[in-house]
Amino acid sequence: MKNEDYQIFGIRAIIEAINAGKTLDKVFIQKGLKGDLIKELETLIRKNGIGFSYVPIEKLNRLTRGNHQGVIASISPIAFYELEELVEKVLANENKVPLFLLLDQLSDVRNFGAIIRTAECTGVDGIIIQKKGAAPVTADTIKTSAGAAFKVPIAKVNHLKDAVFYLQASGIKVISATEKTESTIYDVSLKEASAIVMGSEDVGITPSILKASDATAKLPLLGEIGSLNVSVACGVFLYEAVRQRLN
């Protein structure tokens, strides 16, 4: 299985894929591309809330060896949930305390895959990501997740902050992982219905999401390096939730 297996290219082909209801993760459009057909594609992309970016032709050439006509789309190998559908499904199970994971601005597909794998092992009920800017689910994601991407429900939202508010309104406590706090993960209760927010390694969690969170927590770092890989840090947070709930 290769990343190319989840790609389509050519303006008309991508328009047809969108009209046929295919789940597209992201569309890459060559900078400076003009014409009525590309305008039609851009309108469709925006109407359907599909993530896209304008890139130099060199990037498109690296993504595929085919005649891409200035546009390449990545097709998701999984179906995404709507947030409301996912939360309703999880809350309907009275035998389990809900545990969600929100990923803010995480863009590396391998880190994403590793996090999904850990999420499945720790009983996470669902992962929530943004439609724009989030790492796509590619062949590399599937491989790194060891197939867990087919098992853990993933929801895409327009704005992660709105997802935070929706979870809170549904009785779920939101805890953000950040070094900008005095509380450690061992000071925060994860025994009740919870959602853990993890940010990207370079910029962390969006300030507005930090402000909206019910609690913040950090991992104590005893060495000289100031941070952990995000997938490793996520694993520590999730297993702390497991430890608390087992006790």
Q: Is the separation of the CB atoms in 50 and 24 below 8 Å?
A: yes
Q: Which residue has the higher pLDDT, 200 or 124?
A: 124
pLDDT digits (tens, 9 = 90+) for 85-107: 999 999 999 999 999 999 999 98
Pairing of strands 51-55, 215-217: unpaired
From the DSSP assignment, how many helices (H) and strands (E) are in the chain?
9, 10
Q: Which residue has the higher pLDDT, 78 or 111?
A: 111
Query: Which pair of tokens denotes residue 108?
Result: 């590396």
Query: Does residue 157 surpass a pLDDT of 80?
Result: yes
pLDDT digits (tens, 9 = 90+) for 117-156: 999 999 999 999 998 878 888 888 888 999 999 999 999 9
Query: Does residue 3 surpass a pLDDT of 60?
Result: no
pLDDT digits (tens, 9 = 90+) for 32-62: 999 999 999 999 999 988 888 899 988 888 8
Neighbours of 144 (CB within 10 A): 21
Q: pTM of this prediction?
A: 0.84
Task: Give whole-number Cα distances, 194 to 71, 91, 191, 223, 238, in Å.
Answer: 40, 12, 8, 29, 11
Ordered DSSP codes for 146-204: TTGGGTS-EEEES-HHHHHHHHHHTT-EEEEE-SSSS-BGGGS--SSSEEEEEEBTTTB
